[in-house]
Structure 1
Amino acid sequence: MEHGDAESANLMSVSLLRLTNGRCLLFACRKFASADGTMNCIPSAAYSDDNAQSWSALRPLVKSEGYFILCNDRVVPLKSGKLIAPIATQDNRLQFWTSSNQGETWRCEPMTLSSDENNFSCRVYQEPGVVELANGTLWCWCRTDAQMQYGTFSQDEGKTWSEVRPMPDFRSPMAPMSVKRNPRNGHLVAVWDDHMPRWDVPPPIYTRPGWGDVSTGGRHPLVLAESSDEGCSWIQARRLESDTRRGFCYTAMHFTREALLLAYCCGGLNDTIMLQDMKLVRIPMRADGTLKLEGI
């Protein structure tokens, strides 16, 4: 599948997801210009039922033009079988798109979340992620311009959400966080750019990660932590990356039977931006599913 095949200026945030029935889903944000030159960004999906030998056409989740962001590695299968895709709009609203038929069709849940409606010093909601907790509650988080991640919860598979509130455990620049469940021991694993003072790394002061003026976007150090109580507390915080000349972001997480695999951007050297380079990391697991973090 090439850019020209999809009539796109760019295909970005590409991800793969295998469903329990064997179907492979491919997600990407398709960027193209309208007749008046306005740039659109439309989350789209294709599927394969023959182990990626052939693919359906790339079809939009969102039917209207506009700028909608679905980050890489963000679509989540729920225990009910439904799929949920957290999407941010250009005007800082969070939408939740769901599919009940293995990704064939998608609908936007009626409730959206807007930074205009919060009671905190936050104007930006971007790049949301979702994880399903043990009791079926959905936890959504997003990057903000308030020096930390903000979070909200849903008790009905994304139809309605609680008030979006700051999460002091996750102080960060305006950079995405990733959270997934370790299927071996049930722990939640979070990876984010941690600006807590415990690392003694003074982050750069800025309001937004401008590509030209801050090559790293303040996106360091990259930290991993675990939670054994469904996100109530976080332990085993370890620095994965501490090079202040680089920015680390857009982490994809995949658990195998023996390891946690991470892939993330790591650019910033030689006058490049943070998105220029990519790194793959393998963290082995013990027999009980705990991560072998020694030496990290």
Structure 2
Amino acid sequence: MSEQHQARKRFGQNFLSDPNIIRKIIEAIRPKEGDRIVEIGPGLGAMTEPLMEAMDHLHVVEIDRDLIARLKEKHSPERLTIHEGDALKFDFASIVPDGVPLRVVGNLPYNISTPILFHLAEFAEKVKDMTFMLQKEVVMRMVGEPGTEEYGRLSVMLQYRFNMARLFDVPPGAFRPAPKVMSSIVRMVPRPAAECTADDYALLGKIVTAAFGQRRKTLRNTLRDYLDEADFTALAIDPGLRGERLSVEDFVRIANHVAKKSG
């Protein structure tokens, strides 16, 4: 089969090709025998090959039929399990029927990175860690702190469920074709369930979405469907603040207050 593969825009394909960056990413992941690792979007196998060298079996999720054919031609099913289809619809829990925690890695397609992150968050209790390459701008939002421009809905909802760290940046020249943006590697480790204290996760999501829906408006306006002046007083939160000034814990307190009030 030809070594040439035309990157497909509809799949958000940019293939990692810099051996030094690849080595640095693998060192950050530290794969070892016995790990249950799934790689999202293996592409041309830049990370797949070194991952397989370190372990006895690897899982991958791939949507591109041509790349699936390449993988099948190159690797036996005893070493590589290929899950054909869209990572956005994939049931990651199906890889861990025996309870071995899952490690998720990949160069995520930048055009659907946010929905994939929210989809993966649904499986957090079955995950040991996740290490991804994403557009730097997205990673900065993921790790954003209250009071910063980057801090928003993505920051709050992911930081509620994960401890996250930006590891290092990856320049456009490390890919082919080169994207127009800088990339970053981020590690996500699920927080213990005991620390995730929202009584109603869906309600938390709605409140966070409302708070950041109109960033220039104050909480008095953005959360008026949920809180009145008495509620703000009870919570000791200034209604004149904007959503970006609240911590993740503040949003959890608000959501739990609303859940109790309406329950």
TM-score, with length taken from structure 1: 0.25
Structure of greater Rg: 2
More strand by share: 1
Q: Which structure would you say has the larger RCO, counting Cα contacts within 8 Å and 6 or more residues apart?
A: 2
Query: TM-score, structure 2 length as denominator?
Result: 0.27
